[in-house]
Amino acid sequence: MIAVALRGLRHRPGGFVATFLSAFLGATLLMTFAAMLDTAAGADTVSAESLSTTAAVAGGWCLIIVIFAVTSTLSLAVRRRAEQTALLRRLGATGPQVGRMIVGEAVAVALVASAAAVPVGLVLGRLLLALMQDTGQVAAGVGYAFGPVALGVGFGVTLLGSVVAAVATVRRTAGPAGARPERPRARRVAGVVFLLIATNCSVLTATLMDGKGIDAMQTAGQAGIWAAIGLALFAPELLRLVTAVLAGPVRLAGGAAGELAVLGVRQRTRRLAGAVMPVALFTGIATGTVYMQGIEDDAAAGTIQPAYARDIQTLNYVVVGMITVFVAIMLVNSLIAATAHRRREFAQQRLAGSTRGQVLALVSLEGLLVTATGVLSGSTASLFTILPFGAARADRVWPDASPVAYMTIVVIAVALTGLSLLGTTRRTLRGPAVAALR
Amino acid sequence: MTDAVRLETLYKTYDDTGTAVTALDGVTASFGAGTFTAVMGPSGSGKSTLLQCAAGLDRPTAGRVFLAGTELHAGKDTAMTKFRRTRVGFVFQDYNLLPALTVEQNVLLPSRLAGRRADHARARAVLDRLGLLDRRDDLPERLSGGQRQRVAIARALIGDPAVVFADEPTGALDLRSAREVLSLLRTVVHEHGRTVVMVTHDPVAAAYADSVLFLADGRLAGALSAPTAEAVAERLAHLGDLVGAGAEAVA
Ligand SMILES: Nc1ncnc2c1ncn2[C@@H]1O[C@H](COP(=O)(O)OP(=O)(O)O)[C@@H](O)[C@H]1O
Ligand SMILES: [Mg+2]
């Protein structure tokens, strides 16, 4: 079965590009930050503390996002090959055999991605150390070390994340073919737990961290991430809600295409919810971080700041940038997965009299509902960061800030969704409709 | 008698795989309004290609197609779709109903896509005639194959097309459902004055038609009117000898 798995990888590498990319980027970032811990081992106490704090704060964020990204891309890659898996099952492969195959593939991808990440992580770690030395946070004499912690965390987390994701996917797909019941209860419970953690972080920020200056960022930043994940776990419910509210206008705007879009979203809520998640994460984390940094900059103007304030500012923007890249991968990947297999459905619509333009309109309207849900969830999540941080740092809950940054974030979210959706759809519409049914 | 469909020296070459395959090799034929014609021939003889080119679902490499006297211009996909909407109904072997839509929504879809108001009364009248009125709110997955094919026929008829093309409409059905669908197509022609062109490989199915057109290697290979299953089977068996000889036969 492992041999079949490796052959599968060689022959159909396309489905694994996204998994590989997110595992590679994730392992790179994890190694970069974990190298700070290696470096701390040979540094003086003050430098060591700065290094450990940076690794813990930024590395912690990475950890959550990496696990999330690897899980989502991997399970989509596996689901995209559901046909092949089903065929193997029918040819007599047992559930555990197919399971070993999928886990084997995941391990292979994770290993290759982690190995490829080593040289890049090595260089980025050196840059990060140089940055911290420039700002005087770490003594100039501290030597760079890239050792067991960097490698252990980089390989370990990536491998573990991939195996857990693969096992979870196997458990979902290995049952009797076809029957794949959703377990909304577990998902909802997890969502509530994440939202409670988020609320806890928000309350801590507004109370305990009040007056602690820039340090309040730690809890405030986390609050937004937990809230974004929590709300993303409710994506199916939120998508249904948004669709119910917007059904009228969408039908009005799209005619028959609008009607099909509303029906399509209702029927495929679960699949489309996978695309809501990255939009929510991106909007939530980007908005939260950018506005939090804005509040901080205003509050800090003209006062004496701890040496690491500049570093944190840099790190914040690095985190936003890297989350944007991750989310772009997740989003494009989940939208491609949600669209490519609709080749047949689109062909059937065209045979029923739909023009290419009408199919594109339908897909755009579906994308609109998905994006609206994601942006709404993300914006709500960002408030878990912004409001308490404003209360703690500037004594005003609603920030005195320009909406331009927020609009930019929304435009990026819409553009990412729109471009990947329309790009994939256009490709599935090539050639005559009958050709898609052969 | 006016022709519902006229095909003039149609050629179709597929060469997307590198090696060119000639699926239609100069076919000229016409199908009179209000007739039921079966198209038969060995697998790979170009039957589906013929139907798809005639219906504006695919572009012939050369030749002309006239539907109800108007020439089909194999131009932009959108233009061809709009042309098809008003003139052609198409029925496939595997139904191609939209799984997310109910029976009635499926039947109404073409006119909705054409931007017309949903004519529920007309849809229900057609469904009633086809014995499907009580299933109008069901999703296709809840219907049998025969019922699904009848829904597909209802959908093909709703736009009042000049011609209904059917590509092996009974290919996926059991004997009884197949007979029902074939009788339905006959009724559509003889009681409602429609034109039907049906591809089949089953001599019994072909016997429901008024005439049979034989195709071999992308060329016409003869015709038969008032066919019986035995006569059709006999002709099919000798089709190899006829290739080339009867290429210019007309329906
Ligand atoms: N999309 C295609 N690409 C290449 N060759 C094709 C394609 N469609 C059909 N053909 C070829 O054209 C010929 C006629 O096919 P078709 O019209 O489907 O025959 P029939 O319906 O009589 O079985 C066959 O040789 C077939 O292999
Ligand atoms: Mg065929």
A432·B78 Cβ contact <8 A? no
Closest residue in chain B to residue A430, using alpha carbons only:
B77
Assess contact for B188 and B164: CB atoms under 8 A: yes
A353·B58 Cβ contact <8 A? no
| ipTM score over 0.90, yes or no | no
Output the tens digit of pLDDT for each of chain B's 251 residues: 579 999 999 999 998 777 889 999 999 999 999 999 999 999 999 999 999 999 999 999 999 999 988 898 877 888 888 888 888 999 999 899 998 889 999 999 998 888 888 889 999 998 998 889 999 999 999 999 999 999 999 999 888 898 999 999 998 889 998 998 999 999 999 988 899 999 999 999 999 999 999 999 999 999 999 999 999 999 988 886 655 444 444 44
Percent with pLDDT over 90 in chain A = 31
Nearest CA to ligand 1 atom 5: B14
DSSP code of residue A420: H
User: Which residues in chain A have their CB less than 8 angstroms from residue B115's CB?
Assistant: 255-256
Looking from the CA of residue B46, the nearest atom of ligand 1 is 17
| Ligand with minimal distance to A437 CA | 1
Task: Report, as ranges of residue numbers, the positions in chain A whose pLDDT lies below 50.
Answer: 177-179
By the CB < 8 Å criterion, does A259 face chain B?
A: yes
The 3-state DSSP class for residue A297 equals helix
Assess contact for A289 and A385: CB atoms under 8 A: yes
Whether this prediction's pTM lies above 0.95 is answered by no
Closest residue in chain B to residue A268, using alpha carbons only:
B100
Average pLDDT, chain B: 89
By the CB < 8 Å criterion, does A264 face chain B?
A: yes
B21 CB near ligand 1 (under 6 Å): yes
Report the distance separating Cα A51 and Cα A150, nearest Å. 13
A-B C-beta contacts closer than 8 Å: 67
Closest residue in chain B to residue A345, using alpha carbons only:
B98
- CA neighbours within 13 Å on the CB side: how many for B11? 9
B90·A263 Cβ contact <8 A? no
User: Which pLDDT score, from 0 to 100, does residue A407 have?
Assistant: 96
* Dihedral sign, Cα of residue B235, residue B237, residue B242, residue B243: positive
User: Which residues in chain B have their CB less than 8 angstroms from residue A352's CB?
Assistant: 96, 98, 106, 109-110, 113, 155
A345, A353, A356: residue with CB nearest B84: A353
Looking from the CA of residue B45, the nearest atom of ligand 1 is 22
By the CB < 8 Å criterion, does B119 face chain A?
A: no
CA distances from B69 to A128, A197, B10, B162 (A): 75, 71, 17, 10
Residue B99: which H helix or E strand, with range? none
User: Which pLDDT score, from 0 to 100, does residue B247 have?
Assistant: 44
Nearest CA to ligand 1 atom 20: B44
B52, B115, B155: residue with CB nearest A352: B155
User: Which pLDDT score, from 0 to 100, does residue B41 have?
Assistant: 93
User: Which pLDDT score, from 0 to 100, does residue A53 have?
Assistant: 80
User: Which pLDDT score, from 0 to 100, does residue A38 have?
Assistant: 93
Q: Which domains does chain B have, with CATH numbers?
A: 3-98+146-242 (3.40.50.300)
Closest CA of chain A from B109, distance in Å: 7
| Tokens of residue A162, six digits | 């991939």
- CA neighbours within 13 Å on the CB side: how many for A112? 13
CA distances from A280 to A128, A236, A318, A407, B170 (A): 29, 12, 19, 15, 48
Report the distance separating Cα A243 and Cα B23, nearest Å. 47
Closest CA of chain B from A25, distance in Å: 38
Assess contact for A409 and A251: CB atoms under 8 A: no
Report the distance separating Cα A83 and Cα B96, nearest Å. 20
User: Which pLDDT score, from 0 to 100, does residue B223 have?
Assistant: 93
User: Which pLDDT score, from 0 to 100, does residue A173 have?
Assistant: 63
User: Which pLDDT score, from 0 to 100, does residue B117 have?
Assistant: 83
User: Which pLDDT score, from 0 to 100, does residue A3 have?
Assistant: 60
Residue type, B9: T
Closest CA of chain B from A114, distance in Å: 39
Closest residue in chain A to residue B55, using alpha carbons only:
A351
Closest CA of chain B from A184, distance in Å: 22
- Cβ-count burial of B232 within 10 angstroms (0-12 exposed, 13-18 middle, 19+ buried)? buried
Report the distance separating Cα A435 and Cα A420, nearest Å. 23
B109·A348 Cβ contact <8 A? no
Nearest CA to ligand 1 atom 7: B14
Looking from the CA of residue B215, the nearest atom of ligand 1 is 22
User: Which residues in chain A have their CB less than 8 angstroms from residue B110's CB?
Assistant: 352-353
B23 CB near ligand 1 (under 6 Å): yes
B92·A437 Cβ contact <8 A? yes
The residue with tokens 């190694």 is A31
A345·B98 Cβ contact <8 A? yes
The 3-state DSSP class for residue B80 equals helix
Closest CA of chain A from B10, distance in Å: 18
Closest residue in chain B to residue A258, using alpha carbons only:
B113
* Dihedral sign, Cα of residue A205, residue A210, residue A212, residue A214: positive
Report the distance separating Cα B13 and Cα B21, nearest Å. 5
Closest CA of chain A from B14, distance in Å: 11
Tell me: the pLDDT tens digits for A322-370? 777 777 777 777 777 777 778 888 999 999 889 999 999 999 999 999 9
Report the distance separating Cα B188 and Cα B155, nearest Å. 13
B58·A434 Cβ contact <8 A? yes
- Mutating to test ligand 1, I would choose from B49, B58, B243 the residue with most ligand atoms within 8 A of its C-beta, which is B49
Of A382, A397, A391, A409, the residue nearest A198 (C-alpha): A382
Residues of B (161-180) whose Cβ lies below 8 Å from A: none
Looking from the CA of residue A435, the nearest atom of ligand 1 is 1
User: Which pLDDT score, from 0 to 100, does residue B208 have?
Assistant: 95
User: Which residues in chain A have their CB less than 8 angstroms from residue B52's CB?
Assistant: 432, 434
User: Which residues in chain B have their CB less than 8 angstroms from residue A353's CB?
Assistant: 81, 84-85, 109-110, 113-114, 159
Rounded to the nearest angstrom, the distance between the alpha carbon of B40 and the centre of ligand 2 is: 10
- Mutating to test ligand 1, I would choose from B10, B14, B43, B201 the residue with most ligand atoms within 8 A of its C-beta, which is B14
User: Which pLDDT score, from 0 to 100, does residue B241 have?
Assistant: 61
The residue with tokens 């067991």 is A148
Of A207, A165, A161, the residue nearest A79 (C-alpha): A165
User: Which pLDDT score, from 0 to 100, does residue A64 have?
Assistant: 73
Q: What are phi and psi of A30, to 5 degrees?
A: -60, -45
Helix H segments across A301-433? 309-340, 343-351, 356-394, 404-428
